[in-house]
């Protein structure tokens, strides 16, 4: 669950569009319980039942999402609000952020049951954002618009997050065995990034192996074309899907455009990720 995020809105209009993160279309919804961080929510073993699949509009584009536990999951680990989907019929109102976080300031709190291990990972990830990007993650005092890091599964390594600034309380969920890199990924969704593999130009760089994708999960590999790509495609982006995301047979679901395998290590920001976030938050 690190780097998926189409990033929104033109740089001049930071409030009414979605910026499809250039090299990062962000992403990561979770629902798997794995003990290895290499098996992200994007590599879930048990798909949601077909009746959970819904159609909606995001940024004026029709998308498929999963309705579970009263939430709308897009591409596995991105949570869309009902308002985002309701306003998705108008391109100028759709997307990850109605407005990006004002001033790039993101106030946050950590649930009391998070545990020291994940609390330390959050601290490390927050320090990465504060040191390398123009966003500021600030411990909440009494702010009404903020992010709460909540504890997910005690046996998994996944996470999920609301996308962009929505106002009020929004959440980032982290499983017990999630990596620091995937914490950074989920926080990327919070700042407004979609997954890298859904960029409009991805077919120049990637080959989606449709025959290896779990039945009923191919929609997670659709391009999200209603945002604006920032910078060049970045196969190493923290917002990238894993090569075996949603694989039904252990074979890659994503290869390079020349049909060769690639190795992906989600350890943290690449220079491209940093440049994308800073373009969103100048």
Read off the pLDDT of residues 244-281 as tens digits, 9 standing for 90 and up.
Answer: 999 999 999 999 999 999 999 899 999 999 999 999 99
Contact 178, 1 (CB under 8 A): yes
User: What pLDDT band is residue 197 in, cutting at 50, 70 and 90?
Assistant: very high
CB proximity list for 9: less than 8 A, separation 6 or greater = 15, 16, 17, 18, 19, 95, 97, 100, 228
Residue 94 structure tokens: 């759709």
Of 95-99, 197-201, 204-208, where does mean pLDDT reach its minimum? Answer: 95-99
The superfamily in CATH containing domain 1-282 is Collagenase (Catalytic Domain) (3.40.390.10)
Phi, psi of 61 (to 5 degrees): -110, 135
SS3 (DSSP) at 40: coil
Look at residue 96 in the predicted model and tell me its pLDDT.
39
- Domains of the chain by residue range: 1-282
Mean pLDDT of 77-99: 64
Residue of 96, 63, 231, 83 whose CA lies nearest to 162: 96
Look at residue 220 in the predicted model and tell me its pLDDT.
95
**Which residues participate in the annotated binding site for Zn(2+)?**
185, 189, 195
The string of pLDDT tens digits covering residues 149-190 is 999 999 999 999 999 998 999 999 999 999 999 999 999 999
Whole-angstrom distance between the N-terminal and C-terminal Cα of the chain?
A: 25
Mean pLDDT of 77-88: 83
What is the rounded distance in angstroms from the CA atom of residue 44 to the CA atom of residue 175?
Answer: 14
Look at residue 49 in the predicted model and tell me its pLDDT.
59
Q: Helix H segments across the chain? A: 82-86, 116-132, 180-191, 271-280
Look at residue 85 in the predicted model and tell me its pLDDT.
84
Catalytic residue among 66, 87, 128, 186: 186
Known catalytic residue: 186? Answer: yes
Mean pLDDT, the chain, rounded, equals 83
The string of pLDDT tens digits covering residues 207-250 is 999 999 999 999 999 999 887 789 999 999 999 999 999 999 99
């Amino acid at each position: 669950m690190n780097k998926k995020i189409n990033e929104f809105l033109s740089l001049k209009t930071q409030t009414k569009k979605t910026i499809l993160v250039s090299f990062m279309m962000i992403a990561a919804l979770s629902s798997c319980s794995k003990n290895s961080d290499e098996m992200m929510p994007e590599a879930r073993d048990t798909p949601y039942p077909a009746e959970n699949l819904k159609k909606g509009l995001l940024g004026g584009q029709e998308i498929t999402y999963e309705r579970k536990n009263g939430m709308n999951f897009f591409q596995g680990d991105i949570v869309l609000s009902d308002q985002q989907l309701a306003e998705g019929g108008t391109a100028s109102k759709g997307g990850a952020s109605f407005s990006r976080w004002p001033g790039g300031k993101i106030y946050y709190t950590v649930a009391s049951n998070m545990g020291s291990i994940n609390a330390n990972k959050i601290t490390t990830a927050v320090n990465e954002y504060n040191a390398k990007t123009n966003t500021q993650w600030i411990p909440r005092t009494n702010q009404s618009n903020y992010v709460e890091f909540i504890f997910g599964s005690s046996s998994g390594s996944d996470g999920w997050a609301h996308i962009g600034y929505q106002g009020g309380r929004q959440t980032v969920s982290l499983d017990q065995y999630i990596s620091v890199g995937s914490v950074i990924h989920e926080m990327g969704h919070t700042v407004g990034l979609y997954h890298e593999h859904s960029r409009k130009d991805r077919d120049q760089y990637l080959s989606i192996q449709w025959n290896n994708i779990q039945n009923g999960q191919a929609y997670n590999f659709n391009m999200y074309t209603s945002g604006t790509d920032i910078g060049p495609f970045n196969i190493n982006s923290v917002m990238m899907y894993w090569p075996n995301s949603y694989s039904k047979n252990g074979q890659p679901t994503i290869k390079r455009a020349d049909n060769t395998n690639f190795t992906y290590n989600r350890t943290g920001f690449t220079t491209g990720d940093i440049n994308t976030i800073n373009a969103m938050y100048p």
